[in-house]
Amino acid sequence: MKKIILVCALAVLMFACKSTSATSTKTDRKSQVAIKGDWVISAVTYPGSQYVKVNSFQLADSECFVGSTWKFVSNNNKGTMALTKTNCVAFSSPITWFVNDQGQFVLKVLDAGEKARKVRDGYILGLANQTETSFQLVDKIDVAGKMTDVVYQFQKTN
């Protein structure tokens, strides 16, 4: 996945790249069932956030994901996500997702009516700190040659 990162302090355009190949397609049903329901992203954190802007999921600035709503259906690995933050682009989409047996969260953002198998691009994130009411998705990106964790903090809403 390529991401464009703008380093504001230096006004330099950088490209951030990461691998997008899942190493396993076997699912971790226990983790998936625990994610079932409605969630909101309460925070997006990463080192240098005051200087570096991250374009999350090739959709919007990572700050636009704070307050976004996510619905995960575990029995068919479908769901929805919506960006609704003021001063950000409004966006909503169906998604498909699963958690593999290596703790990777595999996500595809779909266009309306589009079948997941037709979507070639997806995102692989680490699943961390999972409880009944919260979990984190961790994206590893390359910022100026250094791997950096972007952490999406999810809170359960139902």
Express each pLDDT in 112-130 by its tens digit: 555 545 555 689 999 999 9
Band the pLDDT of 20: cuts 50, 70, 90.
very low
- Give the pLDDT confidence score for residue 86 in this predicted structure: 92
Give the model confidence (pLDDT) of 38-79 as tens digits: 999 999 999 877 778 888 888 899 999 999 999 999 889 999
| pLDDT reported for residue 18 | 43
Helix (H/G/I), strand (E/B), else coil: 74: coil
Phi-psi bin for 41: left (phi > 0), alpha (psi -120 to 50), beta?
A: beta
